[in-house]
Amino acid sequence: MPELTRRTALTATAALAAGAVAAPRAAAEDHHHASPDSFDEVYRGRRIQGRSTGGHHGGYRVTVDGVELHVMRNADGTWISVVSHYDPVPTRRAAARAAVDELQGARLLPFPAN
């Protein structure tokens, strides 16, 4: 977990104690396949992950507590998500964190595949 701060570490510990996130073993396996721009952290008590899903089209999946968050890259390299659609941020991780901030603890709903 890069960029692990004391605050997020404490939050992570609390979340793990509450059984709110997946087992550390799963996180380690994810990390094994990680591309350089992937991430996996607990932010404000929510597990946010971003990783390549492979394939010829460079698929990538961002999730909040395992539910996919629809994100989109702007032409200038910035990112937005469906819960913060008019406010670009620099990275997919920042978009995931902004989503957690916006959700205020609410669960994300899966978006319809299209």
Residue 73 touches another protein, criterion: CB under 8 A: yes
Site size toward another protein (CB under 8 A) is 22
Among 20, 34, 94, 103, contact with another protein (rule: CB under 8 A): 103
Sheet holding 79-81, edge to edge: 71-73, 79-81, 84-89
Please check whether residue 92 is in contact with residue 50, taking contact to mean a CB–CB distance below 8 angstroms.
Answer: yes
Q: Of 36, 59, 35, 45, which Cα lies nearest the Cα of 12? A: 45
Among 37, 85, 90, 96, contact with another protein (rule: CB under 8 A): 85
**In terms of CB distance, is 21 or 34 closer to another protein?**
21
**In terms of CB distance, is 18 or 75 closer to another protein?**
75
What residues have CB less than 8 Å from 110, skipping those under 6 apart? 67, 68
Among 75, 89, 93, 95, contact with another protein (rule: CB under 8 A): 75
The Cα–Cα gap between 4 and 31 comes to 15
User: Which residues sit at the interface with another protein, rule CB under 8 A?
Assistant: 70, 72-76, 82-88, 102-104, 106-109, 111, 114
